């Protein structure tokens, strides 16, 4: 009998091939689930927040432009490949194995490309995606070492001998599944209208909290002399090395444009770095304290430094880049200036003032980003439409307009 991965009975390589396909499917399903939860949360309590590390973070992948292709989550591609590998192990044939071997090779190329893009361009790695990468690599090497045609002399004859009829059939099935995902994705988008109204309702049902005893003087948006006079007042507990804080910053930039003259945003330093933060027992982002000192040293340069750090998010983890940033803005002394450290530490320490929201942590401010939006705490990030709707309601409430009253009556029903 010809050398084969799946045609020689119940062998351990065949069993391993089956489970590698199942592993790819499970990892892909979890990735798809996370994509929809991150981008289309059904509750204000489901916001994404930085609680893993700057590098190992799935939210960055879920929010990335490559997380979907034409409305189809990237995880669907992995789900389909995994299903073919598992089915090929259950119902073997020469044509099926050759086709799967070719697909495994294409999948490996995709995995390598996604891994390099994630690590070197996005500067993060999703553990769910990494699970798929591992099972995909295992599958490829099983086909390479035990699969049919492995003794062929040339690379094309080893890997590029699929059944084109099977490929055509798989492609049609793939398109049907992709179309189903597009319909589901569009339905999730359309449902956001109703969800958004529910989010606003949930926001107003959150308990009111006091502003921190010391509101950061470092503002990224100012529309009134007194912080509390603006219709929209955001106190942003954030970490310069937190991927979800980067996402929130992008959302806030849009809010600043849309609600210009109506919004105040105070950047409340909260680096998840044990060097300066003992409010939470997390040391996730070494270097975040130094970035806070650099940004805080000269208040007149804060906005520029803030924007440059988030614009160069991946580079900001590099100590040499941080030194060059400090030199560029002539704020090198901030790294050792006691007054600057005192201000930053005073801001961080306000995190102790909020009652705990989780049994795991002693205080309410326990992760980033966390915002105090008009005296109500939101932990994590929300889609822009949700934040915009809350802010619109706050503006209408501040202006005492009829529209807000009508909307509020609808929300209370």
What domains can be seen in the chain, in order of their start residue?
Answer: 12-188 (1.20.1440), 206-381 (3.40.30.10)
In this predicted model, what pLDDT tens digit does every residue of 279-288 receive, in sequence order?
A: 988 888 999 9
Query: Which residue did the predictor score with more confidence, 308 or 39?
Result: 308
Whether the pLDDT of residue 411 is over 60: the answer is no
What's the order of all strands across the beta sheet hosting 232-238? 219-221, 263-269, 232-238, 370-373, 376-379
CA distances in angstroms from 22 to 19, 86, 90, 108, 125, listed in the order given? 5, 6, 12, 16, 22
Query: Does the pLDDT at position 347 exceed 60?
Result: yes
Q: How would residue 407 be classed by pLDDT, with cut points 50, 70 and 90?
A: low
- How far is it, in rounded angstroms, from Cα 124 to Cα 220? 26
- Phi, psi (5° rounding) for residue 213? -65, -25
Nearest in space to 272 (alpha carbons), one of 261, 286, 262: 286
Question: pLDDT tens, 160-194?
Answer: 999 999 999 999 999 999 999 999 988 887 777 67
| pLDDT (0 to 100) of residue 311 | 94
Best CA proximity match to 88, nearest among 25, 154, 1, 172: 25
Residue 409 predicted with pLDDT over 80: no
The better pLDDT of the pair 149, 405 is held by: 149
9 exposed, middle or buried (CB, 10 Å; 0-12, 13-18, 19+)? exposed
Res 403: pLDDT: 53
Helical H segments across 259-352, by residue range? 288-296, 302-311, 319-328, 338-349
């Amino acid at each position: 009998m010809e050398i084969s991965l799946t045609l020689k009975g119940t062998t351990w390589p065949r069993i391993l091939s089956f489970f590698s396909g199942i592993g790819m499917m499970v990892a892909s399903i979890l990735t798809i689930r996370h994509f929809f939860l991150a981008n289309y949360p059904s509750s204000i309590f489901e916001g994404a927040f930085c609680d893993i590390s700057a590098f190992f973070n799935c939210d960055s992948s879920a929010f990335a432009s490559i997380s979907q292709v034409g409305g189809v989550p990237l995880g669907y591609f992995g789900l389909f490949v995994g299903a073919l590998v598992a089915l090929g192990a259950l119902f073997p044939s020469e044509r099926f194995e050759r086709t799967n071997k070719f697909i495994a090779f294409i999948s490996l190329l995709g995995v390598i490309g996604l891994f390099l893009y994630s690590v070197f361009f996005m500067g993060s790695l999703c553990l769910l995606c990494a699970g798929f990468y591992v099972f995909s690599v295992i599958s490829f090497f099983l086909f390479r070492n035990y699969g049919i045609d492995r003794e062929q002399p040339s690379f094309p004859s080893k890997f590029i001998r699929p059944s084109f009829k099977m490929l055509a059939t798989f492609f049609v099935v793939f398109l049907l599944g992709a179309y189903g995902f597009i319909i589901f994705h569009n339905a999730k988008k359309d449902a956001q209208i109703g969800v958004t109204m529910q989010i606003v309702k949930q926001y107003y049902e959150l308990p009111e909290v006091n502003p921190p005893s010391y509101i950061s003087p470092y503002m990224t948006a100012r529309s009134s002399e007194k912080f509390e006079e603006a219709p929209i007042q955001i106190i942003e507990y954030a970490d310069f090395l937190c991927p979800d804080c980067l996402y929130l910053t992008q959302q806030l930039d849009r809010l600043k444009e849309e609600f210009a003259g109506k919004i105040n945003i105070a950047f409340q330093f909260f680096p998840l770095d044990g060097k300066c933060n003992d409010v939470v027992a997390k040391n996730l982002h070494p270097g975040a304290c130094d970035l806070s000192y650099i940004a805080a040293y000269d208040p007149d340069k804060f906005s520029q430094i803030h924007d440059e750090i988030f614009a160069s998010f991946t580079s900001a983890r590099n100590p040499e880049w941080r030194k060059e940033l400090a030199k560029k803005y002539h704020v090198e002394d901030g790294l050792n200036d006691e007054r600057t450290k005192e201000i930053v530490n005073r801001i961080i320490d306000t995190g102790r003032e909020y009652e705990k929201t989780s049994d795991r942590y002693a205080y309410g401010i326990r992760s980033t980003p966390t915002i105090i939006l008009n005296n109500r705490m939101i932990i994590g990030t929300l889609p822009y439409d949700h934040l915009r709707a809350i802010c619109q309601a706050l503006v209408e409430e501040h202006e005492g307009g009829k529209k807000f009253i009508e909307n509020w009556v609808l929300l209370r029903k």
